[in-house]
Amino acid sequence: MNEHLQRDLSQLDNLLEKVKEQGLEYLKNISNRDTSTQNVLKGKLNLSEGGLGTLETLKQFNERFEPIIVSTSGPRFWGYVTGGSTPASIVGDWLTTIYDQNSFATNGQGDISAIIELETIQLMLDLFELPTNFLGGFVTGATMSNFTCLAVARQWLGKELGKDFAKEGVSDNLNYLTATPHSSAIKSLSLLGIGSNNIIKVKTLEGNREAIDVIDLESKIIGLCGEPFVLISSGGTVNTVDFDDFVAIAKLKEKYNFWWHIDAAFGGFAVCSNTHKHLVKGWENADSITIDCHKWLNVPYESAVFFVKEQHKHLQVETFQNSNAPYLGNPLENFSYLNFLPENSRRLKALPVWFSLIAYGKKGYQEIVENCIILSNQFGYFIQESAHFELLAPVRLNTVCFTLKGKENQEKVNAYLTLLNDTGKVFMTPTIYNGQKKGN
């Protein structure tokens, strides 16, 4: 055996202790760490014949990478929708690595990771106040969750047209209706062999809203003359956290034949707050829902769930089954996650989520979510009161969309943001809203 590997195995306690101490040091000082860096990485290491051993490798990491790692999970990193990691989720994540289960096995035979995952999905449904007629599973992020849901939706569309797309491939022009989809939904359609030319854009509400105009939606539906379609709706757009009216869409679903997908990657967490849960009212009527866990659930990357109505289980299995692997059994009889989602082998992604939900409960998440909402509102208030900035949309949840005051300053927004982010004191992301460059 390689001498380094042998030594590492014999001093594993020392190695893990060192990493624990370093991790604690990082987390203790995360508020002081810069949110961006100007330093560029110097040099590179080549693959050596005999290796360096873990202690020396840690030293190399600490010399070259560690000093320029920025505090993306710290309190002043406001870009994108970035979560941190709760203590319980760190524990769950460490154990996921230590136990190193392959999370696809079934019904307790061999390993129990699928059972942990199913239990965690029930906890998630509970947190989101969704009915138990949704089935769910874990994928790497909301992009893959959108992909998973839209893959099953595609199979549904095929069935409506008398085709089995999983077997025959995609043919036909398919109809996708949406108002303000997240870029990852478009990417998913592209991966699914459905070009963005198949998207029928529905109007948004008057007044620079990003939510769908349900009246225009209905007229577009009528224009389809009974053809089946998929509706991709928003449970929180990224610019202004605008929500489609789920109650109104649910009513349309009683009248027309369509697959309803909701991308609620972070907006779904509105349900944790008594003052904001009305935003997702009616979402339980959707066919599929995307939720990110590495955002507002505050578990480490990579973690998201999809929820798909149980009634579509056969479509899901048709889409994802490993039909040429007889040792995996009949996928409808023997439930297995590898016939249910894109990946086969997976780490036990559910465990950090399970730990965090069990450790902090509904109240814990209510506090996390409401605290963010309060701080966002406070920030929005400061922007509104400021002589230099302009608030562009009401603060609906956890995002503040604003710009520099004055038409003449609009060209300076990107330069301003770059300057601001270069300070390393705070980090925000630019966007285009209503055709104009903004800060977020």
Structure tokens at 37: 């860096």
Separation between Cα atoms, residue 293 and residue 109, nearest integer Å: 28
Give the C-alpha separation, 95 to 354, whole Å. Answer: 12
Contact 341, 139 (CB under 8 A): yes
Q: Compute the least distance from the CB of residue 235 to ligand PLP, in Å.
A: 8
CB closer to ligand PLP, 158 vs 181: 181
Listing from the earlier edge strand, what are the strands of the sheet with 389-391?
389-391, 402-404, 436-439, 430-433
Q: Is 119 helix (H, G, I), strand (E, B) or coil?
A: helix
Q: Is 142 in the site for ligand PLP (CB under 6 A)?
A: yes
Single residue of 101, 113, 143, 204 touching ligand PLP by CB under 6 A: 143
Residue placing its CB nearer to ligand PLP in the complex, 271 or 304: 304
Contact of 299 with 276, CB cutoff 8 Å: no
Q: Would you say 266 or 402 has its CB closer to ligand PLP? A: 266
| Closest C-alpha among 188, 187, 231 to residue 212 | 231
Of 82 and 410, which has the nearer Cβ to ligand PLP? Answer: 82
Considering the complex, what minimum distance in angstroms separates the CB of residue 292 from ligand PLP? Answer: 5
To the nearest whole angstrom, how small is the minimum distance from the Cβ of residue 305 to ligand PLP? 11
Interacting span for ligand PLP (CB under 6 A) from 41-49, 127-135, 261-269, 281-289:
261-269
Q: At what angle do helices 12-28 and 3-10 cross, to 10 degrees?
A: 70
CA distance 2 to 48: 13
Tell the smallest beta-carbon distance from residue 162 to ligand PLP (Å). 32
The nearest distance, CB 184 to ligand PLP, in angstroms, is 4
Q: Read off φ and ψ for residue 175, nearest 5 degrees.
A: -105, 120
**CA-CA distances (angstroms) from residue 128 to 284, 300, 362?**
10, 20, 9
292 binding ligand PLP? (CB under 6 A): yes
Helices and strands of the chain, counted as H and E runs: 13, 11
Q: Applying CB under 6 A, does 81 fall inside the site for ligand PLP?
A: yes
List the one residue from 194, 211, 212, 265 that touches ligand PLP (CB under 6 A).
265
Phi and psi angles of residue 202, each rounded to the nearest 5 degrees, phi first: -100, 145
CA atoms of 146 and 197, how far apart (whole Å): 18
Member of 134, 229, 266, 427 binding ligand PLP (CB under 6 A): 266
317 vs 373, beta carbon nearer ligand PLP: 373
Residue 103 contacts residue 92 (beta carbons within 8 Å): no
Q: How far is the CB of 242 from ligand PLP (least distance, A)?
A: 11
The binder of ligand PLP chosen from 154, 182, 309, 347 (CB under 6 A): 182
Binding residues for ligand PLP, total number by CB under 6 A: 13
Which C-beta is closer to ligand PLP: that of 143 or that of 288? Answer: 143
Given the complex with ligand PLP, which of 158 and 235 has the nearer CB atom?
Answer: 235
184 binds ligand PLP (CB under 6 A): yes
Structure tokens at 382: 């400061």
What is the closest distance, in whole angstroms, from the C-beta atom of residue 295 to ligand PLP in the complex? Answer: 6
CB of 185 to ligand PLP, least distance (A): 7
Residue whose Cβ sits closest to ligand PLP = 141
In the bound state with ligand PLP, the residue whose beta carbon lies nearer, of 304 and 404, is 304
Alpha-carbon distances, residue 397 vs 70, 121, 150, 419 (angstroms): 26, 24, 26, 27
Phi/psi of residue 234, nearest 5 degrees: -105, 125
For ligand PLP, the binding residues in 189-248 under the rule CB under 6 A are 236, 238
- End-to-end CA distance of the chain: give it in Å, rounded: 53
**From residue 88 to residue 127, what is the string marking binding to ligand PLP with x (rule CB under 6 A)?**
----------------------------------------
The residues, any chain, with a CB within 8 Å of residue 371's CB and separated by 6 or more, are none
Q: Residue numbers of the site for ligand PLP (CB under 6 A)?
A: 81, 141-143, 182, 184, 236, 238, 263, 265-266, 292, 304
